[in-house]
Amino acid sequence: MDKLIITCAISGAEVTKEHNPFVPYTIEEVANEAYEAYKAGASIIHLHVRNDDGTPTQDKNRFEQAIRAIKEKCPDVIIQPSTGGAVGMSRDERLQPTQLPIEMATLDCGTLNFGGDDIFVNTENDIKHFAQIMHEKHILPELECFEKGHIDMVLRLHKKGFIHDPMHFSFVLGVNGGMSGEERDFIFMKESIPENCTFSVAGIGRYEFTLAELSIAQGGHVRVGLEDNIYVSKGVLAQGNKDLVLKVVEIARKYGREIATPEEARKILKIQEMDYEKTL
């Protein structure tokens, strides 16, 4: 098995300090949380940014400030900005981070109900457009799939030449409106992608660590973080993202999976083959 790539989603766009006081808003808080997660074993930082009051934003300048601050503390970490943004944002607004010299970004692969009246819209044309921009800029898309139909969309667009190799999937399971996070769901998703693809799993809420263990045991990779789950165990708030990363490292030890460094993660994901020169 490859070494284990741990991605840490340090803040998201929806969770707040009222849910967990360690959710970062300011640039300093973002950099500190990223650094602590990195020291604990994360090689990828999945990045949303907020204004200082916690309001989510896709502002390119805010992303640039956050990326610079993180890189000052951990220069080799892979930073993966979100192009999902927050519900209701426009296509161009969401794509702002791709104007920066980044190695990875998320690409959401289908529309999803997010509870109540909220709909996270990703039309087929949205997906094609996002994929084209990332391909032109040599940015590796993390193909976020919330259910099996999203995988089918990716494979169809790959066949038509809109999505390119290498393909790295992220199964985001347990979201209200998407697939649940039971073992059968994970297996169904895993067995639906080509064998030459890499994959990671992000279990939302109570599914975080059960899905992490399944992925670790079956050769996949893992995403954890306060965006996805604010508890380190039932009823016990995580004292920062590092607690969630460290718990995954513990699980990995049970299965003899070594933790990938950022440079090793680049090799596993074939980022090094994407012909870019990126400095910020």
Indicate the pairing of strand 112-113 with strand 119-120.
Answer: antiparallel
Residue 39 within a domain: yes
CATH code for position 68: 3.20.20.70
Counting the structural domains of the chain, the total is 1
Asked whether residue 278 is assigned to any structural domain, the reply reads: no
The rounded distance, in Å, linking the Cα atoms of 198 and 118 is: 30
Give me the mean pLDDT over the 260-272 stretch.
Answer: 94
pTM of the model: 0.96
Mean pLDDT, residues 35-44 taken together = 98
Model confidence at 47: pLDDT above 60: yes
Query: Residue 274's pLDDT band (boundaries 50, 70, 90)?
Result: low
Is residue 279 in some structural domain? no
What does the DSSP assignment read for 54-84?
S-EE--HHHHHHHHHHHHHH-TT-EEEE-S-
Q: Which domain holds residue 237?
A: 6-273
Q: Which amino acid is at 259?
A: I
CA nearest to 99, candidates 61, 140, 68: 61
Interval 165-184: pLDDT, tens? 999 999 999 998 999 999 99
How far apart are alpha carbons 22 and 197 in whole angstroms? 34
Residue 1 lies in a domain: no
